[in-house]
Structure 1
C-alpha cells in the first residue's frame, strides 16, 4: 500500500467538516416567526496542519398558522471563517454576540450586533486576571438578563497576593499545581465580570478558599452567580474525562455572600437554569471510583432551596429502555415552558436524544429513523438544533421543534451530507458465556459495531482491525468516526467493541469492571471478535490486528500478550503498560487504585498489596509472550499516561528482538490531537498493518 494512497484517503475523510456548536436567534416579523440558526463547523486542514473553523447561517420561516411547523428553510449564506475565537455566545434579547478572541498574544472581548463591532475590551491590557478559560470543565460566557454584563472564568492574576495556595506574586519558583491532562496552564480560576457600559472588568470575591470556581451563570436578577466549585484541597487531581471529582453547587452574591446549594461529598456538573428562573438542574455522581459514571439529574427549587431527583441513576436498563445520563448537558437544554429538558446520552451502542418531562418524570426518545445518532447543542423557544451521523455518513445538522405529548419530532435537514461512503455496518449484541460472567453483576451483556467496505478490493477475505475505546468508561456509538472511515476506505473491516464497563449499559456494567481490568474487559473484546468471525464469513481470521489508545491500548497489549497466536499486528496510542509504575506519575492516581479494586483516599501510601495487584493486571506481565509486531505512538506531554509507560514495553520487546517501533510526538499530550500528529499516526498505523498482515490486496 502506497503512502500517497493512504494520505489521500485520510485527507478525504478527515477534511470533512463537523459541527462544533449551534445557536438560535429569533426575529419578530408580523404574522411570521423567523429563526436564524448559526452553526460553527470545524475541519482539519492538512496543508496548514491546523483546525479551520467557520460559521454558517440558515434562516427558517415557520408556518403562520402553526409556529411549530417549519415552512421554509432558506439556503445558507456563505461560510465565514473565524479565527482565534475561544468562547462565544448570543445575548438573550437583542441577539448581541460576545466573543473572547485571542490574537497577537492578546485576549479581547468583542461585542457584535447585526451590523458591526459595538465594543471591544482588551482583557490582557486591563490586567485584572490571567488567561481566559475556554475548556468544558471551567469555561463559561454568560450574559446578564439586562445584557450589560458578561460572566466568564479566567486564571487568577499572578500579580495578586493571597492566592488559594498562599503564595505571593514574588514566589516565581514555588511549585503551582495544575488540573492535569489538557489543563496544564490552569490552576487558580476566578469568576470575572465585564461591565459593558463602563468598560471595566472585576473579579468576584467571596468564593470559598478551598474550591476552584467554574461553569458560572447569572441568576435572573443578575445580583448573584451560580457556579460549580471544585474542591482542590489537599491537592488537585486531573479533571479531563472525569465526572467523579468532589464538587458542589454554590450561589455567590455580589455582596460576597456565598452559600452551598448541594450536598456534601458529591460530584456535580452542568448547572442549567430554567427560562423562568425557578429551577436549577444539574448532574450529580459519586466521588472517586469509576471516573466516568451514570449520573442522576437533580432539580433545585431556587425559591425554597429544596432539591429533588428528576432522573435517578439507572443500574440495569432493560432492552429498549432509557439507560441513564452520562456526560454533559447541552448549554441550552430547557423547553420554553420550563417543564421539559432535552439532552443526548449513550444508550447501548448508540447515542440518542432524550426528553424528560418534569411533571411526569417520563423519559422519551426523540431519535428516530436509520440515522438515529443525535447530539443536542441548543434549544431556543422549543426549536432544537442537533447533529446526526452514522458510520457511513458524516455529521449533518437537523432542526425540529419539541413535540407535544405522544407525537414524534418532524426533523428538517439543514444541509445534506457532502458525501456518503459505501460501507456496510451492523450492531452486535454479545452475551458472555457463564464462565465469563461477573459473579457480583450477573447477566450483563455488551455490544460491538462492525464497519466494512461494501465492495472489497479483491475476492480475498477482509482483514479485521479490532478498535478498542479508552476510558475505560466511555463508548463507541454507531456514528461517524474518521479513523474507522479511513480504514474502511482502504479495505479494512473495523470492529468497535463496547465491552462491559462502557457507558450506555447502566451503572452495574460500569461497576462490574472495578477490580476486573485486564481480565473481564480483555475476555469481552476477545469474545466479540470470535463471535463476529463466526457470524461474518467475509472476515479473514488469519489477518487480525488490534488498535486503541489509553485503556484501549492497555487492552490491545493484553490481547496480543494473552492470545499471542491470534493477532498478527498491534498499534497503540499512549497505552497503559504497567499500572504499578504509573501510580506516582499519572494525574488521576485515584483511578490506579480504583481500577484494581482498592478504595482511594488522598493520603494513600502505596502498599505491597496494592502495587502487586496493579502489576498483576498490567500488560507488561505478558510481554514475554507477545509475538505480534507492536507500533507505539507516544505524546511527550502526556500527563494522564506519561510516555515512559510505552517505553517500558518498547524496552521489554526490544530486549527479546520482537518487532517494535515508537513514534514520538514531543509537543502532544494524551489525546494526540494535533492535526499533523493525527495524520502521521494514521499513515504509520496503516503502513504497519499492511506490512504485518501480509495482504497482497492492501
Structure 2
C-alpha cells in the first residue's frame, strides 16, 4: 500500500485534514418502512455508512424514526431510537408487510454465511448456508459492504452495497451509482420463502493424493473424470465480479428451514435480480447469455439479457422480453398485474438511453411506456440508470417513481404508465442529485445532495394522481451546506466541426464548476473529464471535490458529448470520435470557464481516471505548456494493448466505429488505427508532471498501461510518480485506498501548481523535479 508519510500531512488545512473533515458525512444506503399500528403511523429504518479513517474501515450503522401522516397529507418525523452499529451484515430485506426482516450475515470466525429471520419477538429462523453445502457464496455485490475481517482470516469481503460515489469519497471516477447485476433477497408474498442468488457449488480442491508420490498405490474407486479438474479455468464476469462465474437461484423454505437450488434455468443463462411471480407459483429473473464466453458486466447495460419466468410447478422457463435485447431490473406492481423493466440495445455504447417497458401479467402483452430519447426535451431527457428503485410503484399500481440523470442533474421522475406521461418531481430544486430509497404506502423516502451539500434524508407523501406538484419534502436528517464552496452549471456549445457526424456536431453539453467562496481570485483550476466514457458528473456531493475547494482550487467537472443524460444522439456521437471529440469538448469547456470566471489561466491541472485519464493524456500532448500538473487513476493509454487484457475487448472496436463479434481477431490496420488514437503514441510531446495511481487487480484497464506510460515518461525526463495498490481494482475502492489516492493527488497538485494564497499574493511554488520512486 502506497502511503503519504511526510510530516505535517495531518496539519489543519492539509489535504488529509480536509479530506477527513468532509468525508465524515453519512450516506444512507437503504431504507424501509413498516406500519407501527393501525392508522397513519409508520416506522422508518435507515442504514447508513461513512468512512472510519482512523480504523481504516467502513462504519455502518442504523437509525430509526417514527412518521405520522395527518389527514391532509402532511408528515411529521421524530427520532425513535439511538443509532446502532451494524456488524457483519451482507444483505437485508424487509418482508412485504414489514413484520419480518431477513438478514444474511457472515460469521467472522468460521467464515460461514448465516441467513436469519427476525420479527418483533426476536430471531425466528437461523440457517447456516455454508454448512448445508447446497451452493457456494451468496451473491451480495451491490448490496452490502465488507465486514473487514482481520487479514489472517479467510473470510471473504462482500461487495459494496451503496452507490459507488457514497462508498468512494473521492467520487472522481464513478460519477453514477453502479448497482450489482445479480444480487437479490426476495420475500414471497406469503412470507414463508426467501429467494436469493448464489454461486454454483463446485468440488473442493483436493490435497495432493498419495499416488502422486512415486511408488504409491492408486485407489481403484477414484473417478477418472475428475482427474485434473482442480486447475480447470472457469470464466467470470470481469471487473468487480471476479468471483462470479455460474450463479444459481436458491430458495429458503422457512417452514422446514430447508434450502433448495431451483432447476429449470437454461444452461446458457446466468440468472440474477430474481423475484416471486404473482401467487408465488414461479420466479421472475434476469438471465444473461454467457455463450460463447462472458464479457465484463460491471457498468455495461448492453449485454444480451432477458426477463424470464420459471414456473415452479411445470419447470417451464419462458422468455417474457424481446429476444435480442438487453433487459434488466424487473419490478412487479403491488396488485401483481404489471411488470416494469428496463430495456436497451445490444452492443454499441456500454451505457445508453434505455426504454421503460411494461408487461401485463395475464395477457403477456408488452408495451413501451417511455422510449429512447434521441434529442433531450425540456421536460424529459431519457432514462439512463442501470436499475429501477427496488420499490418504485405507487399504491395505485399505475404510477411509478424512478431516478435518472437529466443532463447534469439526477432527478426523480413520476411516470404514469397508463398514459405514458412523465412528471419531474425535483426539477428546479437547489439539490442536484436525488435518489429514491423506497416507496411504500405512497410514502417516498429519498436522499438529496449537491456539490456543496452532503446527503440529506427526506420523506414526502405522494398525492393522488394529477396533483403531485408541488411535492412537499420533510427533512428526516437535514445536512447543512458546507461553507466555502459554491457551484454552477456551465452550458457549452461547440462550433460546427468536421470531426463529428454532421447531425451531432453542434450538440450542447455541460460542465459543473465548483469554486472556493473565500480567498483571492483568480483561483487555480483543476479540470476533471469523467471516465466511462458513457457516464456523467451529476450535481451530487463529492467530498474530494469540496476538499479541493477548501484547499483553494476551483474544479471543473466536464460532461463532454457522449455523456449520459443528454440524449442517445449525444451518446452515439462519440463513437468513432474518441480521442478527438471528447478531447476538444474538454478543452472547449476549459476555455469558456477561463473567459467567464475568475480563474488563473497559468495554473491549470488535470485530475481524471480511466477514459477521463485517456482524455487528459491527449490534452497533455496537445497542450504541452498549458497544464502544470496531472494526476491520473487507472489510465487508458494504449488501446490495442487492451484487446487481450481488458474484460471488455468489444469496446476497443466500438469506440472507433468498428463492428465487433465474439470470434473476431484484430487486423493489422485496426490495430494501427487504435494505436494512432492512443495517448502513448504522442507521449513524446508530454512535458507536464504526471502522477499515476493504479490497482494491481484491475480487470478493465490493465495496470501495465500505467507502467508502460510511467517508463516512457521517465525515459524522457518528465517528472512522474507511480502508486501501485496491490489489492486495488479499477475503482481503487476501499476506505484506506481512497483516502491515500486523494491525499497523494492533492499534494501533487499543490506541489506543482503552488499553494493557493488567500491574500491575493503570488503562490509559492516548489522548485525542482518531482520525486520518481520505483513502483511497488
- TM interval, shorter chain, is over 0.9
Do structure 1's residue 192 and structure 2's residue 196 form an aligned pair? no
- Report the equivalent of 2:264: 206
Secondary structure (helix, strand or coil) at the match of 1:466 reads strand
User: How much does 1:24 deviate?
Assistant: 1.2
User: How much does 1:340 deviate?
Assistant: 0.6
Query: For residues 24-82 of structure 1, what are the alpha-carbon distances to aligned partners after superposition, in whole Å with 9 as ceiling and x for unaligned?
Result: 112333xx31111111111001111111111111110111x33x321x21124211111
Q: Distance in 1 between matches of 2:374 and 2:556?
A: 27
Q: Distance in 2 between matches of 1:103 and 1:521?
A: 48
- Report the equivalent of 2:607: 547
Task: Pick closer, same or farther for the CA change 1:419–1:365 going to 2, 3 Å.
Answer: closer
Secondary structure (helix, strand or coil) at the match of 1:74 reads strand
- Report the equivalent of 1:55: 62
- Report the equivalent of 2:214: none
Q: What residue ranges of structure 2 are gaps of 5+ in the alignment? A: 1-5, 142-179, 206-224, 758-762, 764-776
- Report the equivalent of 2:301: 243
User: How much does 1:403 deviate?
Assistant: 2.8
- Report the equivalent of 1:347: 406
Q: Which moved more, 1:409-418 or 1:141-150?
A: 409-418
Secondary structure (helix, strand or coil) at the match of 2:65 reads strand
Do structure 1's residue 118 and structure 2's residue 124 form an aligned pair? yes
Contact 1:210 1:233 in 2 (8 A): yes
Task: Give the one of 117, 140, 145 matched to 2:189.
Answer: 145
User: How much does 1:100 deviate?
Assistant: 0.7
User: How much does 1:415 deviate?
Assistant: 1.1
Q: Distance in 2 between matches of 1:612 and 1:543?
A: 36
Residues 386-397 of structure 1 mapped to structure 2, 5 A cutoff = 386-397=446-457
Provide the TM-score with structure 1 as the length reference: 0.96
- Report the equivalent of 1:130: 136
Q: Greater strand share, 1 or 2?
A: 1
Q: Distance in 2 between matches of 1:572 and 1:674?
A: 18
Q: Distance in 1 between matches of 2:423 and 2:537?
A: 22
Task: Pick closer, same or farther for the CA change 1:371–1:169 going to 2, 3 Å.
Answer: farther
Do structure 1's residue 613 and structure 2's residue 619 form an aligned pair? no
Q: Distance in 2 between matches of 1:169 and 1:454?
A: 68
Q: Distance in 1 between matches of 2:403 and 2:422?
A: 12
Q: Distance in 2 between matches of 1:607 and 1:494?
A: 41
Larger relative contact order (C-alpha < 8 A, sep ≥ 6)? 2
Q: Distance in 2 between matches of 1:595 and 1:615?
A: 13
Secondary structure (helix, strand or coil) at the match of 1:77 reads strand
Contact 1:158 1:169 in 2 (8 A): no
Contact 2:48 2:60 in 1 (8 A): yes
Secondary structure (helix, strand or coil) at the match of 2:229 reads coil
Contact 1:323 1:348 in 2 (8 A): no
- Report the equivalent of 2:155: none
- Report the equivalent of 2:396: 337
Q: Distance in 1 between matches of 2:715 and 2:355?
A: 50
- Report the equivalent of 2:737: 677
- Report the equivalent of 1:496: 557
- Report the equivalent of 2:423: 364
Task: Pick closer, same or farther for the CA change 1:222–1:557 going to 2, 3 Å.
Answer: same
- Report the equivalent of 2:234: 176
- Report the equivalent of 1:480: 541
Secondary structure (helix, strand or coil) at the match of 2:710 reads helix
- Report the equivalent of 2:17: 8
Contact 1:192 1:202 in 2 (8 A): yes
Contact 2:74 2:461 in 1 (8 A): yes
User: How much does 1:373 deviate?
Assistant: 2.3
Q: Distance in 2 between matches of 1:169 and 1:340?
A: 57
Task: Give the one of 504, 511, 520 matched to 1:448.
Answer: 511
Task: Give the one of 405, 410, 416 matched to 2:478.
Answer: 416
Residues 373-392 of structure 1 mapped to structure 2, 5 A cutoff = 373-392=433-452
| Count, aligned residues | 685
User: How much does 1:288 deviate?
Assistant: 1.1
Q: Distance in 2 between matches of 1:301 and 1:282?
A: 12
Contact 1:43 1:52 in 2 (8 A): yes
Q: What residue ranges of structure 1 are gaps of 5+ in the alignment? A: 162-166
User: How much does 1:468 deviate?
Assistant: 1.7
Secondary structure (helix, strand or coil) at the match of 1:615 reads helix
Residues 469-618 of structure 1 mapped to structure 2, 5 A cutoff = 469-536=530-597, 538-618=598-678
Residues 12-27 of structure 1 mapped to structure 2, 5 A cutoff = 12-27=21-36
Provide the TM-score with structure 2 as the length reference: 0.86
- Report the equivalent of 2:50: 43
User: How much does 1:254 deviate?
Assistant: 1.4
Do structure 1's residue 231 and structure 2's residue 279 form an aligned pair? no
Task: Pick closer, same or farther for the CA change 1:696–1:139 going to 2, 3 Å.
Answer: closer
User: How much does 1:159 deviate?
Assistant: 3.3
Q: Distance in 1 between matches of 2:636 and 2:600?
A: 29
Contact 1:99 1:111 in 2 (8 A): yes
Contact 2:713 2:719 in 1 (8 A): yes
Contact 1:293 1:503 in 2 (8 A): yes
Contact 2:432 2:538 in 1 (8 A): no
Residues 192-341 of structure 1 mapped to structure 2, 5 A cutoff = 192-255=250-313, 256-341=315-400
User: How much does 1:422 deviate?
Assistant: 2.2
User: How much does 1:421 deviate?
Assistant: 2.8
Secondary structure (helix, strand or coil) at the match of 2:301 reads coil
Q: Distance in 1 between matches of 2:556 and 2:474?
A: 32
Secondary structure (helix, strand or coil) at the match of 2:502 reads coil
Task: Pick closer, same or farther for the CA change 1:37–1:439 going to 2, 3 Å.
Answer: same
User: How much does 1:438 deviate?
Assistant: 3.9
Secondary structure (helix, strand or coil) at the match of 2:275 reads strand
Query: For residues 325-352 of structure 1, what are the alpha-carbon distances to aligned partners after superposition, in whole Å with 9 as ceiling and x for unaligned?
Result: 4321110000111001100000111110
Contact 1:327 1:345 in 2 (8 A): no
User: How much does 1:356 deviate?
Assistant: 0.6
Q: Distance in 1 between matches of 2:577 and 2:517?
A: 37
Query: For residues 559-585 of structure 1, what are the alpha-carbon distances to aligned partners after superposition, in whole Å with 9 as ceiling and x for unaligned?
Result: 111111111110000010001111111
Task: Give the one of 477, 491, 501 matched to 1:429.
Answer: 491
Q: Distance in 2 between matches of 1:614 and 1:297?
A: 35
Contact 2:197 2:249 in 1 (8 A): yes
Q: Distance in 2 between matches of 1:607 and 1:24?
A: 57
Contact 2:287 2:306 in 1 (8 A): yes
User: How much does 1:102 deviate?
Assistant: 1.2
User: How much does 1:138 deviate?
Assistant: 0.3
Contact 1:159 1:169 in 2 (8 A): no
Q: Distance in 1 between matches of 2:25 and 2:565?
A: 27
Do structure 1's residue 79 and structure 2's residue 83 form an aligned pair? yes
Q: Distance in 2 between matches of 1:263 and 1:153?
A: 23
Contact 1:139 1:215 in 2 (8 A): yes
Query: For residues 68-118 of structure 1, what are the alpha-carbon distances to aligned partners after superposition, in whole Å with 9 as ceiling and x for unaligned?
Result: 321x21124211111221111100125201011112211010111124211
CA RMSD of aligned residues (A): 1.6
Query: For residues 586-607 of structure 1, what are the alpha-carbon distances to aligned partners after superposition, in whole Å with 9 as ceiling and x for unaligned?
Result: 0011111101111111111111
Secondary structure (helix, strand or coil) at the match of 2:457 reads strand
Task: Give the one of 671, 690, 694 matched to 2:750.
Answer: 690
Do structure 1's residue 69 and structure 2's residue 129 form an aligned pair? no
Secondary structure (helix, strand or coil) at the match of 1:408 reads coil
- Report the equivalent of 2:3: none
Q: Distance in 2 between matches of 1:7 and 1:420?
A: 17
